[in-house]
Structure 1
């Protein structure tokens, strides 16, 4: 359906996460995986070599072709744990203020240390994101 190079794979999410270094990033990734699994009720799927995604939606990309992407996901990158919050952050300034040390781009939330994050705010942000994506893409 999609020409995106990042596609869902059959690769083991557990094997991918168990190989993440350093240990702190691995522990953070495992915690975020458990949180997203609980929030979505979905099993994690490895998209491409490094994105753990939950659920799926189809959108029309800039080339006017349908493309699939996870409803929510994350990647334990070297510089930071990257969470994919697809609706963006404009409507959630209050949660971002409570969250703790982070940076954002359009749909990415970058967290260096999960132990410095308000997990209640992160859970609420993930819940809002999933609900919003399901509203936009029923």
Structure 2
């Protein structure tokens, strides 16, 4: 049976942010913490060792695979910040056009620093992602 690797846990978010060596990156992480908390209304939780998540949802695929995941979140990685938004949401691409300097992966949006992006568009991305996931995976 599949064991989910990244799970919500009781580690302290602020203690994790304090381990970020670069002072500017640490300050950006605290600002992201504020933005995500205010925008979602959810308390930040650690997911795995290095992901800060907000809210959660339960998914179940047609294959039978199921689990729990954060609605949105971020991680202050050494090279860049990873921002976690819903995949499969067509509105995400429209918002990213106005977001600022970033790169995208399959599931992540990567930014170097908060100054590179529009915070208002970030809030729209967070809100859109939460709404999309809650609509796609309604609470049971």
State the TM-score, normalizing by the size of structure 1: 0.90
SS at 1:54 equivalent: strand
Q: Which residue of 2 aligns with 1:18?
A: 18
Structure 2 residue 48 is the aligned partner of structure 1 residue 48:
yes
Distance in 2 (alpha carbons) for counterparts of 1:6 and 1:87? 17
Distance in 2 (alpha carbons) for counterparts of 1:135 and 1:89? 11
SS at 1:42 equivalent: coil
Distance in 2 (alpha carbons) for counterparts of 1:10 and 1:63? 30
Distance 1:86-1:93 versus aligned 2 partners, 3 A rule: closer
Distance 1:62-1:76 versus aligned 2 partners, 3 A rule: farther
State the TM-score, normalizing by the size of structure 2: 0.89
Distance 1:132-1:89 versus aligned 2 partners, 3 A rule: closer
Runs of 5+ consecutive residues of structure 2 not aligned to the other structure: none
Would you say the 8 A contact 1:89–1:107 is kept in 2? Answer: no
> Counterparts of 1:1-138 in structure 2 under 5 Å?
3-60=3-60, 64-88=64-88, 90-138=90-138
Would you say the 8 A contact 2:92–2:129 is kept in 1? Answer: no
Runs of 5+ consecutive residues of structure 1 not aligned to the other structure: none
Distance 1:62-1:80 versus aligned 2 partners, 3 A rule: farther
Would you say the 8 A contact 1:58–1:137 is kept in 2? Answer: yes
Q: How far off is 1:92 after superposition?
A: 3.1
Distance 1:99-1:11 versus aligned 2 partners, 3 A rule: same
